[in-house]
Chains A and B, each alone.
Chain A
Amino acid sequence: MISPWRKLREKGILGMNQRNADFIMPYNKRSHYPLVDDKRATKKAALKANIPVPELYGTIEIEHQIKQFQQLLKNENEFVIKPANGSGGNGILVIAGKNPNGYYRKANDALISQDEIQYHLSNILSGMYSLGGATDSAIIEYRVKFDNAFQTISYRGVPDIRTIVFRGLPIMAMLRLPTRESDGRANLHQGAVGAGIDIHSGKTTLGVCHDSLIEHHPDTGARIQGLAIPHWQQILEMAAKCYDIAQLDYMGVDIVLDKELGPLMLELNARPGLNIQLCNDHGLLPRLHQVENLDSIPAKAQQRVAMSLDIF
């Protein structure tokens, strides 16, 4: 009987302490965090580098602007409200349409009044969802119309693809599928399903929900394994390219697939979670060490992706 500690080590599982002490702290410069933490700055930098992102309708920075939030929408009835400095998917409000009686409809079909939206905006501004509770801004952006490829395995909400990028090389990826429990959000700790993606083929492998392995989506019942992710090559390149704008050696890139616009970069994460290891049934450590031992990293994103495909 080997100790569970040793077994995890042998499997190459990266733990929270080691992630913080050996990768985030030495590799990620603190001065590069603001660009990642502030979604507006991320968007701006991404557009400059020709990385497609969901269109920004507007930002709300002071309480006074809240009343006029509808003017920013340019007649769009579908939109997403996010805190600019939010974390962990908190404070995101997805509006899927407007009813003739003036109420808005949330992604889960619940109705929400204009007042309630304004209250939510005000909560965002007062810093309820921001890191450290500092005052924040709210952004209103395009609501992604998700690709039909995922229709069978997601329950209301937009699935996204999380890729861990280390020194500019995509090293592991997963598809995050909303469930009824996660209320349309794609965050694993809120109950979403994570499905590992084989970096080579771009096909889903295992599914994981709440730390345990599953084969079928808990709400739709569809099989998770073996689904080919459309535009896979492009997604990998986008993820690798994000390294150029963020300059963080260890980060997570979240990409969504839009029915019409293709892959869009949603956000970057300087402290990506560890569950990705479960659904890939593979620890991050061996891959991280391999990339650590590389002598030189190509400057071009395409070459880095090629390198990744070569190694893994």
Chain B
Amino acid sequence: MKDLQIKVIAALLVIAATALVYHKNTELGLPLLPAEMNDVWTVEARISFQANGGPAKAEFYIPHKPPGFIKLNEDFISSNYGLATDYDKVNRKALWAVRRAYEKQVLYYRCEIAFDEASYQSRLQPIPSYPSRPVYGEPHGSAIGAVLEEVRAHSADTITFTRELLLKLNSPEPDENVAIINKAGIGKAEWVRQVINILAGARIPARIVYILQLQDRIKHGTLVPWLEVYDGKHWTAFNPVTASHGFTPNTLVWRVGDDPLVTIEGGQPAQVEFSIARHSRTKVSLAEQWAKQVDSKVMAFSLFTLPVHTQNVYRIILLVPLGALLIVVLRNIVGIQTFGTFMPILIALAFRETQLLWGVTMFSILVAIGLMLRLYLERLKLLLVPRLAAVLTIVILIIASISILSSQLGLDRGLSIALFPVVILAMTIERMSLIWEEHGPSEALNRGIGSLIAACLGYLVLSNETLAHLVFVFPELLLVVLAAILLLGRYTGYRLTELWRFRAVLFSNKNKTNNGDAP
């Protein structure tokens, strides 16, 4: 009876999901595969500030015809604010205003851009006047003079001059003149301003430009200062650190100039955060437009209507049920023993950031060190909760030490260890040490390796791009996952490990008659 109920429910779930997927795929044209697409980026700026209670005004620079991109659309999300945009031939600004604003205010600017070769235009505006030579203090003056003299000797025009200068200033082994000049941290806005100031010494017009590096799934991005110099005809961009020429492909030029990015009247200074996401938007956005035309209710409630920031969270959360299904299979059909039911999934999520090999190595090191210290703690005879707290603290200390150590060794991946779920690790170490003491090391290692295998398989599932795309574009597929989980919930067959466990029965040649077998 129960079995029938479950089968009916599972069948209904699968039918509903398949119907929805079919509708979305054929009628609305949502792609089933993540491949073959132009990069389309959704960039969202989130401006938050504390209002004073009276009228409030916010001015915020927004991109205008960024080189190399076309803007598919843009949105200003600002509940009750009045909005105007302003363009002064160099920069574009959004102006928000409201009569009364209390407490925390959040404004969003969102735009979708697509990479477009054709929109690489020469940047001509504005035509600058040649800067007058600044008066440098000593000993700066003579150092800068000497550097400029040397750079001039090694260059032919403005472009080569700038590149030569940047290379010299960024040299890992600065000569004494450069050492005197270099004060600001390399790569910061401070630094770019200083370079502009030095270029003025050679009467080369230069300006600061703020860019956004486009990378998928950035949640708290910031603008990066860049350098542009005027060679008499157009503005040419330079990476202020590597001195490479022009903008890299995934660079969005946000604005020109050095005024504050956002100005608030009637409130506290604002915070700006950028979220970036890459999508299969080419097809999906077409589908969305089409859905709007036919007034589809299905798309009106899709995950794409959420803010990008939240979308990125859901891209990960929606994968978790797949991991849970994997655990069900591993435990009830294969019969692998793990520490804690869903601990391997949390570890697998951490592996997504660290990559598999690093993840497994760091996890093993962490657990091994933790276990050694925990076995020592056993001698101190601590009570349970303080002991757990001590293990937790130790885990965090080990993580911090590994991060510092790997940073010293220049192993960037080592830093991602900070993403391991520390509480889960502490519980794992605690349980492992209990099993170590009660059932011996072999049992403890057995389960530890079981957990690790489960985590690795979980990583393979959770890092699969096709699966990630499918569950995000077609979240109704999780109904199929649910159906599978329900069906497996009534699986009463043998686990794979039980075949091994009862191998004595399998290999016994004695054909014992089951005298009491029911007919």
Partner-binding segment picked from B129-137, B244-252, B297-305, B380-388: B380-388
- CB contacts under 8 Å to B, within A250-295, are 274, 277-278, 281-283, 286-287, 289-290, 293
Contact with B along A1-38 (1 / 0, CB 8 A): 00011011101110111100110000000000000000
A15 and B495 contact, CB distance less than 8 A: yes
- CB contacts under 8 Å to A, within B82-122, are none
Residues in chain B near residue A123, CB distance under 8 A: 383-384
Interface flag for B376 (CB, 8 Å): no
Contact with A along B213-240 (1 / 0, CB 8 A): 0000000000000000000000000000
Q: Which of B491, B495, B518 contacts A293 (CB 8 A)?
A: B518
A119 and B438 contact, CB distance less than 8 A: no
Q: Which of A17, A127, A189 contacts B492 (CB 8 A)?
A: A17
CA distance A138 to B304 in the complex (A): 56
Contact with A along B498-519 (1 / 0, CB 8 A): 1111111110101010101110
B499 and A211 contact, CB distance less than 8 A: no
Interface flag for A73 (CB, 8 Å): no
CA distance A2 to B388 in the complex (A): 50
Residues in chain A near residue B498, CB distance under 8 A: 8, 13, 15-16, 274
**Residue of B with least CB distance to A17:** B492
Residue from B495, B501, B502 whose CB has the most chain A CB atoms within 10 Å: B502
Residues in chain B near residue A213, CB distance under 8 A: 504, 508
Q: Can you show 8 pairs from A to B with CB atoms below 8 A apart? A: A8-B494, A8-B498, A15-B494, A119-B381, A126-B384, A278-B502, A281-B510, A286-B518
3 closest residue pairs by CB, A with B? A126-B384, A18-B492, A15-B494
Residues in chain A near residue B512, CB distance under 8 A: 281-282
Q: Which of A119, A127, A189, A277 contacts B502 (CB 8 A)?
A: A277
Interface flag for A103 (CB, 8 Å): no
Interface flag for A233 (CB, 8 Å): no
Place the interface of chain A in its size category: 35 or more
Residue from B383, B385, B495 whose CB has the most chain A CB atoms within 10 Å: B383
B510 and A17 contact, CB distance less than 8 A: no
Known A5-B494, A21-B490, A290-B516; judge A212-B504 contact (CB<8 A). Answer: yes
How close is B285's CB to chain A, nearest CB, in angstroms? 47
Interface flag for A208 (CB, 8 Å): yes
Binding site for A on B (CB under 8 A): 332, 335, 381, 383-385, 434, 438-439, 490-495, 498-506, 508, 510, 512, 514, 516-518
How close is B492's CB to chain A, nearest CB, in angstroms? 4
Residue from B335, B512, B516 whose CB has the most chain A CB atoms within 10 Å: B516
A290 and B335 contact, CB distance less than 8 A: no
Interface flag for A311 (CB, 8 Å): yes
How close is B378's CB to chain A, nearest CB, in angstroms? 10
CA distance A278 to B504 in the complex (A): 7
Residues in chain B near residue A289, CB distance under 8 A: 518
A189 and B439 contact, CB distance less than 8 A: yes
Residues in chain B near residue A311, CB distance under 8 A: 516
Known A17-B491, A208-B504; judge A286-B499 contact (CB<8 A). Answer: no
Residues in chain B near residue A122, CB distance under 8 A: 383
B505 and A278 contact, CB distance less than 8 A: yes
How close is A268's CB to chain B, nearest CB, in angstroms? 22
CA distance A21 to B335 in the complex (A): 15
Interface flag for A90 (CB, 8 Å): yes
A11 and B505 contact, CB distance less than 8 A: yes
**Residue of A with least CB distance to B386:** A126
A8 and B505 contact, CB distance less than 8 A: yes
B493 and A18 contact, CB distance less than 8 A: yes
Residues in chain B near residue A286, CB distance under 8 A: 514, 516-518
How close is A180's CB to chain B, nearest CB, in angstroms? 12
Interface flag for A190 (CB, 8 Å): yes
Residues in chain A near residue B385, CB distance under 8 A: 126
A5 and B499 contact, CB distance less than 8 A: yes
**Residue of B with least CB distance to A124:** B384
Residues in chain B near residue A245, CB distance under 8 A: none
CA distance A22 to B332 in the complex (A): 14
How close is A230's CB to chain B, nearest CB, in angstroms? 26
A290 and B494 contact, CB distance less than 8 A: no
**Residue of A with least CB distance to B427:** A133
Residues in chain A near residue B510, CB distance under 8 A: 281
How close is B324's CB to chain A, nearest CB, in angstroms? 17
Q: Which of A115, A211, A281 contacts B501 (CB 8 A)?
A: A211
B384 and A127 contact, CB distance less than 8 A: yes
Residues in chain A near residue B499, CB distance under 8 A: 4-5, 8
Residues in chain B near residue A90, CB distance under 8 A: 438
How close is A159's CB to chain B, nearest CB, in angstroms? 20
> Given contacts A15-B498, A18-B493, A282-B512, could you give 4 more A-B pairs where the C-beta distance is less than 8 Å?
A16-B498, A17-B494, A21-B490, A293-B518
Contact with B along A78-98 (1 / 0, CB 8 A): 000000000000100000000
Interface flag for A72 (CB, 8 Å): no
Interface flag for A128 (CB, 8 Å): yes
A281 and B505 contact, CB distance less than 8 A: yes
B492 and A21 contact, CB distance less than 8 A: yes
A22 and B384 contact, CB distance less than 8 A: no
Q: Which of B381, B495, B516 contacts A312 (CB 8 A)?
A: B516
Residues in chain B near residue A212, CB distance under 8 A: 504
How close is B490's CB to chain A, nearest CB, in angstroms? 6
How close is B395's CB to chain A, nearest CB, in angstroms? 19
Q: Which of A16, A17, A22, A126 contacts B383 (CB 8 A)?
A: A126
Residues in chain A near residue B516, CB distance under 8 A: 286-287, 290, 311-312
B508 and A281 contact, CB distance less than 8 A: yes
Q: Which of A8, A17, A189, A287 contacts B506 (CB 8 A)?
A: A8
Residues in chain B near residue A21, CB distance under 8 A: 490-492
CA distance A200 to B235 in the complex (A): 100
